[in-house]
Amino acid sequence: MKTSIEVMPLSPPRLSSDVPQEIYRVLIGWASEKWSINVRSTCISATPDQHLQAVLASKAQVATRPEFTPTKSITEINESDLVKALKARPEYAYLETEVTNAGGICRIAMVNLEEVLAFQPLVRIDHLETRQLQGSISDDQLYEICFPARRPVSADEVTVEPNPNGNGYTISTLDPNIRVMPLYSIPGAPDGIVTQLNYPSSSTPFEMQLFSFPLLRVPNYLMVVHYQDRYIMRNGYTRAADLLSQGIQTVPCMLIEGQNPALIGLRQGMLDLGTIMSARPSRLSDFWDDTVTCLFKRPALRYVYNVSVNMMPVPR
């Protein structure tokens, strides 16, 4: 018997006036030439060679920069009431367990976003007007931006439909933080759950073991990883770039320490570890440098999970 889960972001559909469009800034000074040309062509009309020359000019701009020099981007903070309340949340425990299982340790600290490196090659910017902060911001407000409180997944955020052949479900959502995951991949969860089903006509319960796929909203904290001599943004790119655009440089984060590169959170489609550890790596602040970025437009995505069970008889 084979149990599988597939994640299928429906991307990229054709541009259509009926589909909401999202606008991003992209780090073409570090991304691959082919991808950068495709990205740039969504907002700028030019020949392939003209796009290539613009991309190469961005890479040449990166090459003129001084080599990376390690700096201390972190300021330690006291165990305030705000920090104590944050560490008592279940989502903090979720992330702390995930980090510990990967061989790291974590704590709350202040980070200078200007000094943090970036491996995610794009951030969304078309919603900046709705995220502008009005006047001064309190510590409570800043902590809520950097460590948003958990919200249960509501029925209007997901669509769940049985598969036509009756062997599973298809779940879809517009929120990339709402995910379907095997139970064993959730930090601290058991591999399986033994449960009992009581039938009214039976004198004893019917026992079974559950190998489930929970639906959850993963914690969306602003996270920075200290790896070797570098501080690298792991999660919270769009919020961090927004804060920088508004002149807010020093913010609280969950700081992760460890020598396992898996702690960085690199994924397919991101800049690779070699780029981040190079002599001239990309920084979070580079998203606002026109000489090494361009705009990118794409349709809004829907994230589709297909969970299915299929019997596969095989030779012993």
Specify the pLDDT at position 135.
Answer: 66
Domain ranges in the chain?
Answer: 1-180+215-310
pLDDT tens digits, one per residue of 215-230: 999 999 999 999 999 9
Taking only the tens place, the pLDDT of each residue in 36-70 is 999 999 999 999 999 999 999 999 999 999 999 99
State the pLDDT at residue 87: 96
What's the angle, vertex CA 69, arms to CA 64 and CA 74, rounded to 5? 130
- The per-residue pLDDT for range 127-143, each reduced to its tens digit, is 877 666 766 789 999 99
Quote the percentage of the chain above a pLDDT of 90. 79
Q: Has residue 5 got a pLDDT over 60?
A: no
pLDDT tens track for 230-258: 999 999 999 999 999 999 999 999 999 99
pLDDT band at 13 (very low <50, low <70, confident <90, very high): very low
CB atoms within 10 A of CB 227: 22
Quick: pLDDT tens for 63-115.
Answer: 999 999 999 899 999 999 999 999 999 999 999 999 999 999 999 999 999 99
pTM comes to: 0.88
User: What pLDDT score does 6 carry?
Assistant: 57
Percent of the chain predicted with pLDDT > 70: 92
